[in-house]
Structure 1
Amino acid sequence: MRKTKKKAKAETRHRRQKSTEPQKLIAKLSPKSPHSELFRSVRTNIEFSSVDKVMKSILITSSEPDSGKSIICANLAVVFAQQGKKTLLIDADLRKPTVKKIFPGAASHGLTGILTNKITISEAICETDVEDLYVLPAGVVPPNPSELLGSEKMKQVYAELYELFDQIIFDTPPIQLVVDAQLLCSFVDGSILLVRSDHSSRENSKKALEKLQSGSAHVIGSIFNDQKMKMEGYYYAN
């Protein structure tokens, strides 16, 4: 029986989504590629960014939306896990969650469920198919993201996770749009600003950095994402 055009298009679209989505995790699929080496270089720079304090927890935010922040967070989490560190990637973007799309096996519940006392930490954390890598999805999008992230409960959850994992990476919303990253940066070990080189103006990047620093952040560097290259390039600067 011949397939209808509508059904054939739907199947083609489904195959395309299955084939392209995992390719974003270049550090997992092509660990020996030049781009994976760039992520390892960023990892090394993070580890040596302070002589006085171990960068066990880092927060990554961006100056503007559509900067490629979430996929960079995911790849960094992969290379930390590949180092043998028990690593947790937290989707702290409670407004526009992305981590679950990158790791589709993650459960629908997550951080918001913990913060509203509906589930426990152990129930919310999900294993991935990368050894030593775990993810904490955002969960159900709440009406009050800032209030949840700035709560005492969030600090308690962070303290527990800090004891459970060797490395924690927070993926947070763009700092120019909302205060969420400013609320979290006060208690993580270090914060990083992601700048998309062909998208962010110098003035916007400067304002984003000022906002991050106003939240008592320990800014350890910036990552420049060059979208103009045939394949994305990532650069780290102290």
Structure 2
Amino acid sequence: MSRYKIVTHYDPKSPIAEAYRSLRTNIQFSNFDKKLQSIVVTSAGPGEGKSTTAVNLAVSMAQDNKAVLLIDCDFRKPQMHKYFAISNRVGITNIIAEGIDKDLAASTISEFKLDVLSSGPIPPNPSELLGSNRMKEFIHSMENIYDMVIIDAPPVGVVTDASIISTYAGGVILVCGSGQAHIDAVQYSKELIEKVGGNILGVVLNKIPMNEGSYYKYNYQSYYGDAK
């Protein structure tokens, strides 16, 4: 289990954990007119911390007494099973492609008080599966059961998967690695999501270097606002 990455649980008093709680609060107040029940977490490119952000956001929301389902829809490089040390032999792909029951695929992580649905076997056609009516209907059905459904998706600037999911999820969070994400790539990712009608909630600026004695003493600093 990636204890050092789940700081909201194992190091709850740290500045990093507080940054995730601030992100949680900002999300709760992001949509006044419509209740937000599902969020896609993606990034412009690989290695920017989207999966770690998705996990800590899910744990933080569960700590706020919300019923949370975390789904690994990164069929290119699934990670959720590694964070929680669970099996990846059965997951969301089995539910959509084979029709198995969600309760047979999801894992209830009692330590974190949330449910996790790993990817399952990697499908040969990830984009087609994610864009299927079965997938849309499943996400919407989970919104009726859980207070929040958090979906970890592949980088939107690399494959179309995150853009597809954003068409039926409530909102999108774009994770950008400080000193890693290129402005053009972030702008392009934003445009890809907007072109399909995705609702960009904001940006998480991740991996800001620690600078002792300054405001930026966080390893992770969350900034929540529209990507420009």
- Flag whether TM exceeds 0.5 (same fold): yes
Matched residue count = 219
- 2:173 aligns to what SS in structure 1? strand
Contact preservation (8 Å) 2:178, 2:208: yes
Q: Does the alignment pair 1:201 with 2:182?
A: yes
- 1:237 aligns to what SS in structure 2? coil
Question: What is the rounded CA distance, in whole Å, between the counterparts of 1:102 and 1:211 in structure 2?
Answer: 29
Going by fraction, where is helix more abundant, 1 or 2? 1
Larger radius of gyration: 1
What residue is the counterpart of 2:223 in the other structure? 236
- 1:236 aligns to what SS in structure 2? coil
AA matched with 1:163: N
AA matched with 2:223: Y
Taking the TM superposition and a 5 Å limit, the aligned residue runs for 1:108-127 are 108-127=89-108
% of aligned pairs identical? Answer: 36
* 1:76-133 Cα shifts (integer Å, max 9, x gaps): 0000000000101110101110111101124521010001125211111111133431
Q: 2:51 aligns with which of 66, 70, 78?
A: 70
Q: 2:135 aligns with which of 126, 149, 154?
A: 154
- 2:98 aligns to what SS in structure 1? coil
Question: What is the rounded CA distance, in whole Å, between the counterparts of 1:236 and 1:89 in structure 2?
Answer: 22
Question: What is the rounded CA distance, in whole Å, between the counterparts of 1:47 and 1:118 in structure 2?
Answer: 32
Q: 2:198 aligns with which of 202, 217, 225?
A: 217
Flag structure 1 segments of 5+ consecutive residues without an equivalent. 1-17
CA RMSD of aligned residues (A): 1.4
Moved over 3 A (4+): none
Deviation at 1:236, TM superposition (A): 2.3
What residue is the counterpart of 1:95 in the other structure? 76
Question: What is the rounded CA distance, in whole Å, between the counterparts of 1:104 and 1:227 in structure 2?
Answer: 28
